[in-house]
């Protein structure tokens, strides 16, 4: 018996990725598609412009889109929802759903709330424990679990084994982000042709704050933020999918380049140990080729869930550079939420 | 009476930029086009595939291309040459010319030689003084002056006023470089469509070493290198012209964001004071718009000779971020050589 | 004394082209910028996102944007308006203005009205004569003159000398159209990256009907449409500006390839004879290079007002192929309206 | 027992497609990789730059590349070879192999030879019969079968059912061709960024001549060419894979648009009836969506072997327009050769 999952914001790009990732999923089945009221009451295939190259899953094509309303959850007996709704409406909408059932949210709104876990299962699965506090404090039967921004996730996963073994002083990242991160209509072709745009609204704030929560330690039911500097500079480039990031970092303890490579390539965590359906194994692929990772060639590694790290170089004592790449709408969005739900199930939170 | 200039490597992209920049130049006239022997003896317009959007200058279109040979300099009484030849042959070829006449070289070969000045006229015009030593040591009548790599120049100009006022601890730059930097046939379209390539051969070495020489102090006829860390990560993106760079830096003395902006926007140097024909004024344009500089919109600022700096942010004490942009085949190549020659003339080295 | 011109739809891409083309114009000066009410009352530079690489003209940057209202024309004593407003509102808005002053419209709405001239001055300047009928019938003091769709104009100009000398049986054109034709936000980058879109709404209808009116004969004050087949297939490609068109045609009388080339390259018409400021001379540039015209290299020929024709081939008796290219927002939009107004002035219609 | 297949030109783009298509093939196994002498003697994975996004097949990665030499065929007992070698060397090399074993060639060299079949199995499988004549005349134990140019194949398949039912007067096609058609390094990124190139050497000749042979009738052991006009205009656009073609055609008998659609969508041929592994079913996909086919979305239809036809329109009696799309390195190259070999096997020619 699969759990019944609803998708909030089913017609957008991340909503569509949810559907593809849940097609034939062993734990969850898509039981409700919810979107804005202008789509409600119509067949999904008639209202959604399908953006992905892969075909629309057969099961959902003819489903009737519902309003985003907790009555739908009641009516259909949903066990959980995945959310990809705009951040402006998320506080109210996700909050309503969380009163009743678990919400796995890809939206930024709740991420930095003290009692809401911001989880990357390879990094901080123990943060699921603050859900108890959240439910108690908010008097919710359900709960909200969030996953980070698509820029954050690409470098926070490689930082985990490095921080654990060698500590971190600072991390500087310059991103080259894909068009899909802005939504299908987000970047006009006239804006990006023969161009780079060195600005993405609010992105640097997220990339500089979220990693410190994710890499933070649980201390008496609260997250104690990690203590190092993250500086980010975010750029948009003409790439369909896949965020590439140039990372500069300083560790607390020195180590050799080979030590660092080993820490990255041998890294495994709870999702890999549990053999979860959406977990990439390994989670970090270390490429030795001098000109990789490249978004066109590497974004689909691990079915879009692996982070590919390359060009690892040591410049001086404790100072390293590398380039990392992850698929922004899979690992950086829908896939992250689904993996969170898989871990939640194993932890008996579903 | 204009000085007679030859161009070594006249058929390539940088060679073509030399021609456009010298069209109607008040000090220099193009008197010889030299290229590989397969082009020699033919009309320029018949052998050169003209790459630029602007038309081929009328004066040079019908000139006969000559072999790269110092006899041409003798025959035509050349006063100087500009060089854009491949680095593999530059040591021999530029060396031969320098025995007789000044060589303004855009090639990497001689840049780091102890007795060869590596000059950005806004930054270190006093380094022209080491030419005396060069001539004596090598027993040359001419000399070689080099200009830096196209990646270096974009950030070394803004670093100058910052270093002078506040000192530098480290500089980390991640570049997003234009296709033209690899030459017309350098990057196949199949390689870069929907892609980023996080590797450019030898580029990071140049970007990490050249600034320290350029920003070095002259000490008893020798350059004492500047003493701070430069880490670079170089990426190729799908942009025709214009290198964009995300810069992270730490100063020695703290200052406010406004102080830093002022240092950059008020910066003027020898080429501006001399009012040289190719000198941009101001050399650094500080953009206050949140999403600039962009290569499509800003690469031609100052006729391709200005560096545009934007997104200046302060993160914590002494720690700053900005984005800078410069035209890689003008400010970063041919224009840099021409400006060097203009300064040399004013300094009576021509 | 220059005539006072207003621009309707001043904030869009075509509106911006109008401003650049009228910067320093000898006959007309921009005296009013009119746009939708959300921009009205504010400085132009504060409400318009400037799309062009060239800078915003100094004179208009600080002008206050006005509502689109004929009272503005009265108040400022406008002599004419140029219109680039959406076709949905043009029938009412342009009609209101035409009651009082001449309207030179780039909008499709009135183009096929029997008493409204659809003019390309190199092709059918005599169609200005139907304005008399228009004014009488509609009881207008002003009038409306239209110019064709950006796809039409590229091939209708070369058709003119061919039709006049050799007659036409059919014309088949397949277009590869630039992004700017859809407006700045018209084509999402996600839609066109690594793609071609073989559909542009209503475009083929326009390209198949407009040429027959433009190439029609004036007969007793009415346009008798030309009588040959035009079939069009319109495609969007990833090009910023410049529509490229593959043309197949059959003439009525046979001629040699050289005859056809000569007809095209020697073609001159009223705007060239009058030496009008915006008239390209020659209007048709015939390129002999095997791989031209190309939009990147040829769209700015004749300051964006020339049509470049290349790859002229004869396949069998009376059957020819060629490729033509024109700048879609200059020759295909704003420049066409301005040239119409210049002719109107010479014909004492202004 | 699978037949042993060699690949001539194994390191290029089409060679790589052969490997992917033959991975796990039920009839053929890749037994030899042959390439130029500079690759010979080394592991495939060490000498071939792998261009495709999908991974290099495990079986071939470690194979040692051999010289292109018939001795390899003898030594390994090859049953057939697939050829993707340059046309300049094909007459000699393919000829040598054909003395001994069947050659399925993607190269242009032999296509128009009178005794060499040029086959698209959905169109003219009966042309295999001229092999008997070829062997006799050339005294070969093997034979050569060719498949058409990548531009030809996209429109010749839809022409087949139309010609059979309604006859053809003329066909005009304007192509928008993918970068991969020129080979990995064929089109510099500087040439195609923000551009269209309206020229591909020799392409129009092929597209105008090959269809007449393919659609020709077998008459007394010889191909009698079809008798209608084909005019082609070939353009390169910035698309990775997939040739899009705007087609204008006139039939001999009139029919309705629905008749034409039916003829296309119901078309099945020998490969479909035989259920061959590489045969798409249906071979022609008729899309009713107003903006399709698009290369990004439709090139992989039928695993890259189907032709997608859309935008079918009737303009007047007997005159039609449509847009067709096919994958140029699969249906237009390697896949075509493999399908030919599958048919040959069923016809007992292997």
Best probe of the C interface among B46, B49, B53, by most C CBs < 10 A, is: B53
Q: What is the mean pLDDT of chain A?
A: 96
Q: For position A110, what pLDDT does the model report?
A: 98
Q: What are phi and psi of D190, to 5 degrees?
A: -65, -25
| Residue B297 to residue C53, Cβ atoms within 8 A | yes
Q: Determine the pLDDT at residue D54.
A: 83
Alpha carbons within 13 angstroms on the beta-carbon side of residue D326 total 26
Round the average pLDDT of chain B to a whole number and report it: 96
Beta-carbon separation of A189 and C188 below 8 A:
yes
pLDDT at A48 over 90: no
CATH number of the structural domain spanning residue B286: 3.30.360.10
CA-nearest residue to C208 within chain D is D315
Measured between beta carbons, which residues in chain D are less than 8 angstroms from residue C244? 196, 198, 235
Question: Is D350's pLDDT higher than 90?
Answer: yes
Are residues C308 and C261 part of one domain? yes
In Å, how far is C57's CA from the nearest CA of chain A? Answer: 21
Residues B275 and B241 in one domain: yes
Smallest Cα distance from C93 to chain D, Å: 31
Is B193 touching D (CB cutoff 8 A)? yes
Would the CB atoms of A291 and B174 count as touching at under 8 Å?
no
Q: Chain B within 8 Å of A198 (Cβ-Cβ)?
A: yes
**B174-199 confidence digits (pLDDT tens):** 999 999 999 999 999 999 999 999 99
Can you give the pLDDT at residue C161?
98
Q: Cα separation of C44 and A214, whole Å?
A: 46
**pLDDT band per the 50, 70, 90 thresholds, residue D184:** very high
β partners of residue B235: B176
Note the pLDDT tens digit of each residue in C237-259.
Answer: 999 999 999 999 999 999 999 99
Between A344 and A1, whose confidence is greater?
A344
C50, pLDDT greater than 90: no
- pLDDT at residue C237, rounded to an integer: 98
Q: How confident is the model at residue D21 (pLDDT cuts 50, 70, 90)?
A: very high
Do D222 and D314 lie in a common domain? yes
Average pLDDT score over residue span B15-26: 95
Report residue D201's pLDDT band, with 50, 70 and 90 as the boundaries. Answer: very high
Q: Are residues D174 and D124 in the same domain?
A: no
pTM reported for the whole predicted model: 0.96
Query: Nearest 5 degrees, angle CA D309-CA D313-CA D319?
Result: 110
Pairing relationship of beta strands A217-219 and D284-286 according to DSSP bridges:
unpaired
**Pick the catalytic residue: C25, C172, C234, C243?**
C243
Q: Are B323 and B308 in contact (CB under 8 A)?
A: no
- Rounded to two decimals, the ipTM of the complex is 0.96
The CATH number covering residue C58 comes to 3.40.50.720
Whether A50 has its CB under 8 Å from any CB of chain C: the answer is: no
What is the domain extent for residue D275?
150-327
d(CA D89, CA B31): 44
- Identify the three-state secondary structure at position B102: coil
- The minimal CB distance from C238 to the residues A186, A188, A193 is found for A193
Chain C CB within 8 Å of residue B270 CB:
no
Tens digits of residue pLDDT in C147-202 = 999 999 999 999 999 999 999 999 999 999 999 999 999 999 999 999 999 999 99
Residue C20 pLDDT > 90, yes or no?
A: yes
Q: Is D243 a catalytic site residue?
A: yes
Same domain, D198 and D311: yes
Same domain, yes or no: D98 and D180:
no
Instruction: Please check whether residues B249 and B322 belong to one and the same domain.
Output: yes
Check whether the bond before C293 is cis (ω within 30° of 0).
yes
Q: Once rounded to an integer, what is the mean pLDDT over residues C93-121?
A: 97
Predicted confidence at residue B51, as pLDDT, reads 85
The SS3 assignment for D61 reads: helix
Which of chain D's residues have a Cβ under 8 Å away from the Cβ of A296? 53
pLDDT beyond 90 at A297: yes
Average pLDDT, chain D: 96
Q: Which of A148-152, C52-56, C206-210, C339-343 has the lowest mean pLDDT?
A: C52-56
A233 in contact with C, Cβ within 8 Å = no
Lowest mean pLDDT among A335-339, C55-59, C139-143: C55-59
Average pLDDT of every residue of chain C: 96
* Residue D242 Cα, gap to closest chain C Cα (Å): 9
Extract the tokens encoding A38.
Answer: 């202008």
Hey, is the C-beta of B50 within 8 angstroms of any chain C C-beta? no
- Split at pLDDT 50, 70, 90, the class of D31 is very high
Are B84 and B156 within one domain?
Answer: no
- Mean pLDDT, range B48-58, rounded to an integer: 86
A72 and A209 inside one domain: no
C67-78: per-residue pLDDT in tens? Answer: 999 999 999 999
Mean pLDDT, rounded, for B164-173: 98
Least confident range of C11-20, C273-282, D157-166: C11-20
pLDDT of B59 above 90: no
Instruction: For residue D283, give how far its alpha carbon lies from the nearest alpha carbon of chain C (Å).
Output: 21
DSSP D32-59: EEEE-TTTTTSBHHHH----SSSPPPHH
pLDDT over 90 at C336, yes or no? yes
Q: Which residue of D has its CA nearest to C199?
A: D291
Q: How far apart are CA D103 and CA D120, in angstroms?
A: 15
Q: Which chains touch C (3 or more CB pairs under 8 A)?
A: A, B, D
**DSSP element (H, E) containing B233:** strand B229-236
pLDDT tier for residue B53 given thresholds of 50, 70 and 90: confident
Question: How far C242 CA sits from the closest chain A CA (Å)?
Answer: 13
Torsion of CA D105, D106, D109, D114, to 10 degrees: 60
Please name the residue of chain B whose CA is at the shortest distance from the CA of residue C298: B53
Could you tell me if C158 and C121 lie in one domain?
no
Instruction: Specify whether D139 is located in the same domain as D14.
Output: yes
Taking only the tens place, the pLDDT of each residue in B25-36 is 999 999 999 999
List the strands of the sheet with D80-83, edge to edge. D66-67, D28-35, D3-8, D80-83, D103-105, D144-146
pLDDT of D167 strictly over 90: yes
Say yes or no: D220 and D303 in one domain.
yes
pLDDT of residue B85: 95
Reported confidence tier of residue A336, pLDDT bands at 50, 70, 90: very high
Instruction: Judge whether A176 is closer than 8 Å to chain B, CB to CB.
Output: yes
Asked if the Cβ–Cβ distance from A196 to B315 is below 8 Å, we say no
Closest chain B C-alpha to D10 CA, distance in angstroms = 19
B244 touching A (Cβ < 8 Å): yes
Cβ–Cβ gap B240/D188 under 8 Å: no
Catalytic residue among B150, B234, B324, B327: B150
C192, closest residue in chain A (CA to CA):
A189
Phi, psi of C349 (to 5 degrees): -95, 0
**C-alpha–C-alpha distance, residues A305 and A323, integer Å:** 17
| Count of domains forming chain D | 2
How confident is the model over C101-127, as a mean pLDDT? Answer: 97
Contact yes or no for B190 and D240 at CB 8 A:
yes
Interface contact D292, partner C, CB < 8 A: yes
Strands lying side by side in the sheet with C3-8: C66-67, C28-35, C3-8, C80-83, C102-105, C143-146
Tell me: the pLDDT tens digits for D302-333?
Answer: 999 999 999 999 999 999 999 999 999 999 99
Nearest to A190 among C193, C194, C240 (CB): C240
Contacts of C298 in chain D (CB under 8 A): none
**C-alpha span between C346 and C335 (Å, rounded):** 17
Whether chain A has a CB inside 8 Å of the CB on D297: the answer is: yes
Q: Is the pLDDT of residue C333 over 90?
A: yes
Residue B255 scores a pLDDT above 90? yes
Please give, rounded to a whole number of angstroms, the shortest distance from the CA of C228 to a CA of chain D: 12
Active site residue B243: yes
pLDDT in tens, A231-269: 999 999 999 999 999 999 999 999 999 999 999 999 999
Chain-centre distance for alpha carbon D269: 16
If pLDDT is split at 50, 70 and 90, which confidence band does C48 have?
Answer: confident
Q: Which of D25, D45, D127, D150 is catalytic?
A: D150
Q: What is the mean pLDDT of residues A4-20?
A: 95
Q: By the CB < 8 Å criterion, does C1 face chain A?
A: no
DSSP C249-273: EEESS---HHHHHHHHHT---HHHH
**Mean pLDDT of the B297-307 span:** 97
Residue closest to A208 by CA, chosen among A188, A227, A229, A191: A229
Confidence band (pLDDT; 50, 70, 90) for A49? confident
Q: In whole angstroms, what is the distance from residue A116 CA to residue C102 CA?
A: 64
């Amino acid at each position: 018996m699969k759990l019944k999952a609803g998708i909030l914001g089913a017609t957008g790009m991340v909503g569509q990725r949810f559907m593809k990732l849940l097609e034939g999923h062993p734990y969850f089945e898509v039981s409700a598609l919810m979107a804005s009221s202008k789509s409600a009451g119509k067949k999904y295939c008639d209202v959604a412009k399908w953006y992905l190259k892969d075909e629309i899953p057969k099961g959902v094509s003819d489903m009737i889109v519902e309003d985003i309303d907790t009555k739908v959850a009641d009516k259909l007996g949903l066990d959980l929802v995945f959310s990809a709704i705009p951040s402006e409406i998320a506080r109210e909408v996700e909050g309503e759903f969380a009163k009743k059932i678990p919400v796995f949210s890809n939206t930024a709104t709740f991420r930095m709330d003290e009692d809401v876990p911001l989880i990357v299962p390879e990094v901080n699965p123990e943060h699921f424990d603050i859900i108890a506090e959240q439910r108690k404090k908010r008097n919710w039967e359900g709960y909200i679990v969030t996953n980070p921004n698509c820029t954050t996730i690409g470098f926070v996963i490689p930082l985990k084994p490095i921080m654990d073994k060698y500590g971190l002083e600072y991390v500087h990242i310059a991103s080259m982000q894909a068009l899909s991160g802005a939504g299908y209509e987000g970047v006009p072709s006239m804006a990006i042709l023969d161009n780079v745009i060195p600005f993405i609204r609010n992105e640097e704030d997220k990339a500089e704050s979220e990693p410190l929560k994710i890499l933070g330690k649980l201390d008496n039911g609260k997250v104690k933020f990690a203590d190092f500097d993250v500086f980010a500079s975010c750029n948009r480039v003409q790439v369909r999918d896949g965020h590439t990031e140039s990372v500069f970092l300083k560790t607390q303890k020195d180590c050799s380049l080979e030590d660092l490579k080993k820490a990255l390539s041998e890294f495994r965590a709870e999702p890999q140990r549990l053999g979860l359906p959406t977990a990439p194994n390994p989670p970090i692929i270390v490429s030795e080729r001098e000109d990789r990772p490249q978004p066109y060639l590497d974004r689909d590694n691990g079915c879009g869930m692996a982070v590919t790290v390359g060009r690892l170089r040591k410049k001086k004592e404790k100072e390293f550079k590398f380039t990392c790449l992850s698929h922004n709408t899979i690992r950086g969005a829908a896939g992250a939420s689904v993996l969170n739900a898989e871990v939640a199930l194993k932890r008996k939170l579903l």
